[in-house]
Structure 1
Amino acid sequence: MASVKHLLERSLNELKNPELKKFQWHLKNDKHVSESEMENADRLDTVDKMVACFGHEEAVKITVDFLRKMNQNNLAEQLEKNHKQAGRAEGNIKKSTAVGAHSKMIWGSAARAALHDYTETNLRLKNKLQKEYKRILVGNSQTGHREYLNDIYTNLHVVENDTGGRVDDHEVIQIESNRNRLTAKEKPVDCNEMFKVQCGTGRENRTVLTMGIAGVGKTVSVNKFILDWAEGTKNQNIVFIFPLPFRELNLVKEEYSLMGLLHKYFFSPKELPSLPEGDGKVLFIFDGLDECRFPLSFKEDDRFTNVNEKTTVSKIITNLIKTHLVPAAFIWITSRPAATSLIPREYIDQVTEMRGFNDQQKDQYFRNNCNPEVSENIICHIKKFRSLYIMCHIPVFCWISLTVLQPLLAQESNDKTPTTLTGMYINFLISQQQQMGKKYCDDPQTKANARSFDEIILKLGKLAFEQLEKGNLIFYKEDLEECGLDVSEGTVYSGLCTQIFQEQKARNVYSFVHLSVQEFLAALYVFLKGTDEKADIFNQSWSDKLTWKLSEKPLFQLHKAVVNKALKSKNGHLDLLLRFLLGLSLETNQSDLKELLPELKLKTENIKDTADYIRKKIEKEKSVERTINLLHCLSELKDNFVEEIQKKLSSGNLSAQNLSSAQWSGLMFVLLMSEETQEMFELQKYRRSDKALMRLQPVIKNTRRAL
């Protein structure tokens, strides 16, 4: 019986030298085998390298594929035929051995003899997952629609992350500091290649942790990975993929065995009596570590090895990760950065970071989802306003932008097209209100029972603010009820909450369509309630309350309180709320808000005091990330500070001036927002000091070439 290596050697021996070179060319270009590994490689070297890189089964599949590309169809068919015959012969030998070894036969009946059973169960699981994952919800569960994932999926920018550590900065700040940061040191990652044998080392990753901010596309990427496998196009060496998102696992209160858990979600005990043996036959996917609501303990004495013994879900997960349960299985975990420290780094083979869309992928998203003329108008508009363009690294923000801008930019002229984050989210709320009106205007009974949109918005704002204070992205029915919201109102009438899933005898789980939507609604709640001295939303001291009560500028006192609280936050969880709150203070945005909230009384207080206060804070602030956020705050206020820096920069005489700390920060901000600076930054143009160099570090890091 010929081995795989012998079969491959026999096929390559049929190729002449020029044809072998062409075969090796396909390996380098299609499978990314390095130039050095193929240099001077003969037929035997090529076979050894393929088996080391891809494993036996995948090496045969790749060879057949390349032979067909080279019009060597007879060779390809012969290799396929010989490989199948060798597989059947090996199976017969195993059967004979099993019959002759009676002591192993009973045990083997569940684990090995069911190879055919695994094949059938594999197909059944693929069919099940294909039905579940071939479509994806675009928008939310009430006003959204389902699309074929393969039709709308845009590749995401994923890199290898060597640190794997906890990241405490606000997630929007991470986007702004990470954008265009791909350097020679950062290695791009194809999610479909993560669990394959690595060329050059012959090793493979067993446990991969993928981190990325909320809404960046982690779950969608997981869905695409599963769909590709279920459709038979990728990772066919894996027999079973079991997706077990933490949102579902949170609801499992009773004890289960690992097999019992798989029977609960995927198969009956008769269909799956055991798991296949061998390396990499099973992949467990745990999506959303940051949403985990039960403790994960990695104590050494907490060892658990029996797949059929009942225990807690927590113990099952930790022992899978620690390789005590199903040691040969692959594990893929996704998480927001702040939660990655829940799993000790020693149990992770590779950490990857999902960066969302790069600039080309952003443009492609809009071109994929609307007609050419409107898509170009949208791309042109958001590129003019860099804070919007940067936020479009988040796929969900692209969807929000598309929802808002598509109807506006389809018109010949529109002076209400938003240019700031606050304006974008106000218009997003207006679009949701309009959809709600269209959906329920023809149903008198529903309309009669429904609360007004502004009343629901205020209650959702309270929910958003209280959950943001606690650091929660997901919440339950009782959380809505505590804020005076009926479940149907929270999901159906507003269109702003998404019902994640519903299962009999289980609680409904809710979240806002994106963290930034939660932060905007929280800011709106603070804006509407915060100038009332009775609404002590920040638990101020009695002296602060007295100052607030006696002040003739209550809006400024509110701004001051939120600026101070945001600057004290360790993880910047109020940074975006602060931006939105200041943006809501502009009369232009308030006039748009009146379309949503007809009873709103315009707050016409002069915001110059707020802008001056923020400038003073910028002078003293040492944190670059906090400084960037304060400068964004000035942009939301449409303050002319950044504009002044831009004028000085364009005048060419900036280097001759002694800039204050705030002005150096402003220069840094202008350069970070500039598309041109990403290519080359000429540091020698500017009068420098140690303090100035510190302020300009983010620009230097984000530039491909610094002079």
Structure 2
Amino acid sequence: MASAKDLLDKSLNKLNKAELKKFQWCLVNDHECISNSEIENADILDTVDKMVAHFGPEEAVKITVEILRKMNQNNLAEQLENKHKQAQAEGSIEDPALVGASSKPIEAQAEGSIEDPALVGASSKPLEGSTAEDSKAALHEISLRLKNKLKQECERILVGNSQRGHQKYLNDIYTDLCVVENETGGIVSEHEVRQNEFKLFDAKDTPIQSNKFFKVHNGRRNKKVLTMGIAGVGKTVSVNKFILDWAEGKENQDIALIFPLPFCSLNLIKEEYSLIGLLHKYFFSCPEELPSLPEGEGKVMFIFDGLDECRFPLNFKEDDRFTDVKGKTTMSKIITNLIKTHLVPSALIWITSRPAAASLIPRNYINQVTEVRGFNDEQKEQYFNKNSSPEVAGNIIRHIRKSRSLYIMCHIPVFCWISLTVLQPLLARKSNDKTPTTLTGMYTSFLLTQQQQMTAKYSYPEPKANARSFDEIILKLGKLAFQQLEKGNLIFYKEDLEECGLDVSEGSVFSGLCTQIFQEEKAVSARNVYSFVHLSIQEFLAALYVFLISKDEKAKLLFQSMREKLAWELSRKTLFQLYKGAINKALQSENGHLDLFLRFLLGLSVESNQSDLKELVPGLKLKTKNMKNTVDYIKKKIENEKSVERTINLFYCVSELKNDFVEEIQKNLSSGNLSEQNLSSAQWSGLVFVLLISEETQEKFELQKYRRSDEAVTRLMQVIKNTRKALLQCCYLTAQCCESLSSVLQSSNSFLRELDLSNNDLHDSGVQLLSDGLKSPNCQLEILRLQCCNLTAQCCESLSSVLQSSNSFLRELDLSNNDLQDSRVQLLSDGLKDPNCQMEILR
């Protein structure tokens, strides 16, 4: 007998074109979960696929029968219904929860004549003292119930991550993410936008799919996986997709039970629980549904999402061994003993975390570390194409490519959503004068779209007596954002909101605006947790609050009764003093946690952003101030700042101010004037900034275009590290620059694959320094050209040791026009014979 899809396909094929259109029209109008855009250009097969994906095969057939009868296609409806009943009787219709479990009929499974993959290897010990067969059947029932529950919870996700926002089917909008078998190469405590700007995607990283994390490979399986990734990059969505694929029978069917336990909910459980009691509370209505856990290897999986949100201590040092799944203890002890494999030793464990919190779990308890990098360039385009028309997607991609800052941020899926929300309506207009080109402009425009949506949604004939105005809500959310940002908190509780005048019970937190940028997590206890959907939104609102509280009388009056006093006493200072204080505070931060806040704060002073602010806050009186003092102060800081990362952020601040300092450097670059000037420290830093944000230099950097000297190599190390091909030939270089180049080769986040140093006066001493870098385990250099570098026989010993190094990736080496001598070339020959040598071309 045919499957449900076959039956639906054959039935709809009997309709003519007009009748099919009518069927699709009825489908969209009767069932809100399928949108008109999904079905508009769908053929019969697409329509069937959409229905089965949304409703499951059983429900899809029932809905089709109903619609056919509504269209007076009674004979066709009756034929479909009869064939479907016959197929069910013979056991050939697939149950979505069992897809992939077995190719044999469901009846066979019920009779115990075949093995369910999830039960193979499971303990023969009965769940409740019954027979082994009864135990397997009971576990099968538990698995089905759990799959149905998790499928309902995971099949839709909130667009914008809001508690009351618009939900879409995950399978309809899911875009693959770049996940790699590698830990972050950056400092894990750095600000996450800073990490994104300095570490993108590297060829040496091994891509891996999330649904393959726990597959058996060569007879082995990773039992404990830690997945890291910055906020908003897609860790939780990856978890939901993993669970949904399991619940729908598509992947990992050898796992019988999956229990997702997010830390933000576990934080709220203060009393002691047993592990079994905890699972009953979360997943089952009564204890009888899960009397015990199966003991087979890898049959049970626990997913702990959001380690960075954990608010109780995880103690891995003390000997607190705990093995009783039915014994009550603390959340901390349950989790640590699961990870230590004292509790349910056979279980699979998946933990997700932002990088800064990943060290809470010692590495010796983890089998594999993976990292979610977000969208690569191709996946960005896929996202925009999947969530809009090809024309709109093309316009958005072309626009964000003009701004390196915006394009880098689009590695974060949440920022892609913000960009789509803002740019889709703006780019459709004939005049694009107000289309944002900076981060501050993008977030200000985003807030404006939320205000417009709120106005449209909550425009009553007569305003409600207790209705909160948009600007009042913005200020209160801003105060919350600022206070919690200073403390380093990303999640908040009811009392934190109430301290800022936000009353959750009256719904002011979810006033239209907040359904898009603020989320509420339901938990098992009475306490709920709240957060902004992304750290950057919290930083923007914090900056907006500081900006308004320092300039707007209405904002000051709102909090006057509470005797407001900002940190650093910002409210008492002039605008320049406010900016100066914020710049100093940001530079003092070791991890750069105020970097983006500072960019937003300065960007809000720009006239184009202030015109939008006046729309957001009616009656706001703003005068555009001359920012020359602030820019001069930033330039002075750039002159003295030694940290490349902090200097880069200061230049981003200058860009947000739309100052011509960066433009001057870009003009000088294009005219070639820089090669003739004596550059100041600030100009060197500006040159580094301009080259780092250039797409061209990320692929190829040519030193000749800028300055031919050892100093230039030292000054531009960050640019050389960030390019794939560094062409430094004929630049009057000496051995002095080779120390800097060696440190680039040894850097863990260097992208350099080709280095041309031909026609420079390096000598053997320079090659010796380079060799130290070439033997580093971090070095990924494949092509090295040293033609005409005044080398002698002495360098051959260094290069031979490189060829014999197990760390060397060199496959092409050019030593032409050097005085090497026959005897020393013999040393190179020995290196070439070494099994570690990967050389393909030697000149």
Q: TM-score range by the shorter chain?
A: 0.7 to 0.9
Matching of residue 194 in structure 1 with residue 194 in structure 2: no
Deviations 1:55-94 (A, max 9, x none): xxxxxxxxxxxxxxxxxxxxxxx9989xx99x95999xx9
Which stretch has the larger CA shift, 659-668 or 365-374?
659-668
2:38 aligned partner? none
The 1:204–1:483 alpha-carbon spacing in structure 2 relative to 1, beyond 3 Å, is same
Asked if structure 2 preserves the Cα contact closer than 8 Å seen for 1:157 and 1:354, the reply is yes
Residue 352 of structure 2: SS of its match in structure 1? strand
Deviation digits for residues 467-519 of structure 1 (CA, Å, limit 9, x no counterpart): 00111111111111101111111222532553423357511211112111110
Inter-CA distance 692–337: structure 2 relative to 1 (3 Å threshold): farther
Partner residue, 1:577:
597
Q: Name the structure 2 match of 1:332.
A: 350
Match of 2:828 in 1: none
State the distance in 2 between where 1:304 and 1:504 align. 24
Match of 1:667 among 687, 693, 696: 687
Q: Given the alignment of the two structures, is residue 146 of structure 1 paired with residue 167 of structure 2, yes or no?
A: yes
Letter in 1 for 2:702: E
Cα distance in 2 for residues equivalent to 1:383 and 1:441: 37
Question: Where does residue 471 of structure 2 map in the other structure?
Answer: 454
Out of 192, 196, 199, the position equivalent to 1:175 is: 196
Aligned residue type for 2:530: Y
Do the aligned residues in 2 keep the contact of 1:282 with 1:330 (CA within 8 Å)? yes
Amino acid at match of 1:450: A
Cα distance change, pair 105–485 in 1 and its aligned pair in 2 (3 A): closer
Q: Unpaired runs of 5+ in structure 1?
A: 1-77
SS of 1:567's equivalent in the other structure is helix
Matches within 5 A, 1:471-620: 471-487=488-504, 488-495=507-514, 497-502=517-522, 506-530=526-550, 536-539=565-568, 554-620=574-640
Q: CA deviation at 1:360?
A: 0.8
1:298 aligns with 2:316: yes
The 10-residue stretch of structure 1 (337-346 or 502-511) with the greater mean CA deviation from structure 2:
502-511
What does residue 701 of structure 1 align with? 721
Q: Does structure 1 retain, via aligned residues, the 8 Å contact 2:450–2:512?
A: no
* Aligned length, in residue pairs: 607
Cα distance between partner residues in 2 of 1:154 and 1:375: 15
- 1:6-63 alpha-carbon deviations (Å, 9 max, x no partner): xxxxxxxxxxxxxxxxxxxxxxxxxxxxxxxxxxxxxxxxxxxxxxxxxxxxxxxxxx
- Comparing 362-371 with 678-687, which one deviates more in the overlay? 678-687
Relative to structure 1, the CA distance from residue 326 to residue 377 in structure 2 (aligned partners, 3 Å threshold; closer, same or farther) is same
Letter in 2 for 1:141: S
Q: Deviations over 1:638-659 (max 9, x none)?
A: 1112111211221234334332
Equivalent in the alignment of 1:420: 438
Q: How does 1:39-438 map to 2 (within 5 A)?
A: 88=113, 109=130, 113-141=134-162, 144-162=165-183, 167-179=188-200, 181-183=201-203, 185-199=204-218, 202-267=219-284, 268-438=286-456
SS of residue in 1 equivalent to 2:157:
strand
The 10-residue stretch of structure 1 (354-363 or 138-147) with the greater mean CA deviation from structure 2: 138-147
The answer to whether the Cα contact below 8 Å between 1:110 and 1:273 also exists between their aligned partners in 2 is no
Cα distance in structure 1, aligned partners of 2:324 and 2:132: 15
**SS across alignment from 1:154:** coil
Distance 1:682 1:111, change over 3 A: farther
**How has the CA–CA distance of structure 1 residues 162 and 462 changed in structure 2, closer, same or farther, with 3 Å as cutoff?**
closer
Residues 631 and 535 of structure 1, relative CA distance in 2, 3 Å threshold:
farther
- Offset at 1:327? 1.1
Are the equivalent residues in 2 in contact too, given 1:166–1:341 (CA < 8 A)? no
Cα distance per residue 1:416-471 (max 9 Å; x no partner): 1111111111111111111111111136353x321221111111111100000111
Amino acid at match of 1:483: C
Once the two structures are superposed, what CA deviation does each residue of 1:647-692 show, in whole Å capped at 9, x if it has no partner?
1221234334332222222222112211222222223544366664
Deviations 1:326-382 (A, max 9, x none): 111111111111111111111111111111111111111111111222221111111
Tell me how far apart the structure 2 counterparts of residues 688 and 454 of structure 1 sit (CA, whole Å). 55
Q: 1:112 to 1:308 in 2, by over 3 A?
A: farther
Secondary structure of the corresponding residue to residue 220 of structure 1: helix
Give the direction of change, closer, same or farther, for the CA distance of 1:307–1:684 in structure 2 (3 Å limit). farther
**CA-CA distance at 1:112 after TM superposition:** 7.7
1:300 CA displacement: 3.6
Cα separation, partners in 2 of 1:79 and 1:425, compared to 1, 3 Å: closer
Residue 293 of structure 1 aligns to a residue whose secondary structure is coil
Question: What code does the residue aligned with 1:567 have?
Answer: L
Residue deviations 1:186-218 (CA, integer Å, cap 9, x gap): 11121111111335xx43211111111111111
After superposition, give the CA deviation of every residue in 1:172-199 in whole Å (9 maximum; x if it has no partner). Answer: 11111112x312x211121111111335
Greater fraction helix: 1
Counterpart of 1:539 in structure 2: which amino acid? W
Q: 1:538: how far off? A: 2.5
Distance 1:127 1:415, change over 3 A: same
Aligned identity (percent) is 71
Q: What SS does the corresponding residue of 1:511 show, helix, strand or coil? A: strand
TM-score (ref. length: structure 1): 0.81
- One-letter identity of the residue aligned with 1:648: N
Deviation track 1:107-137 (CA, whole Å, cap 9, x = no partner) reads: 8648885111111111111111111111111
Distance 2:213 2:115 in 1: 29
Flag the 1:105–1:434 CA change in 2: closer, same or farther, 3 A. Answer: closer
CA separation of 1:443 and 1:270: change in aligned 2, threshold 3 A: farther
Superposed CA deviations along residues 261-285 of structure 1, whole A, max 9, x for unmatched, are: 1111112322211111222111110
**Alpha-carbon distance in structure 1 between the residues aligned to 2:521 and 2:211:** 27
Change over 3 Å in CA distance of 1:445–1:648 after alignment to 2? closer
**Aligned residue among 645, 651, 669 for 1:625:** 645
CA distance in 2 between partners of 1:332 and 1:515 (Å): 24
Supply the AA of the counterpart residue of 2:511: V
Aligned partners of 1:499 and 1:508 also within 8 Å? no
Distance 1:142 1:429, change over 3 A: farther
**Taking structure 1 as reference, are residues 108 and 393 closer, same or farther at Cα in structure 2, changes over 3 Å only?**
same
- Match of 2:581, as an amino acid? A
* Alpha carbons of structure 1 residues 89 and 145: separation in structure 2 relative to 1, 3 Å: closer
Higher RCO by CA contacts (8 Å cutoff, separation 6 or greater)? 1
Alpha-carbon distance change, 303 to 457 in structure 1, aligned in 2, over 3 angstroms: same
CA distance in 1: counterparts of 2:323 and 2:588, whole angstroms: 45
**C-alpha distance in structure 1 between counterparts of 2:656 and 2:721, whole Å:** 25
Contact 1:110 1:274 in 2 (8 A): no
What secondary structure sits across from 2:632 in the alignment? helix
In the alignment, does 2:657 pair up with 1:637? yes
What is the alpha-carbon distance in structure 2 between the residues aligned to residue 137 and residue 652 of structure 1? 51
**CA-to-partner distance for each residue in 1:288-313, whole Å, 9 max, x for gaps?**
11111111111241111111100011
- Give the counterpart letter for 2:263 in structure 1: F
- 2:212 corresponds to which letter in structure 1? E
C-alpha distance in 2 between matches for 1:346 and 1:581? 43
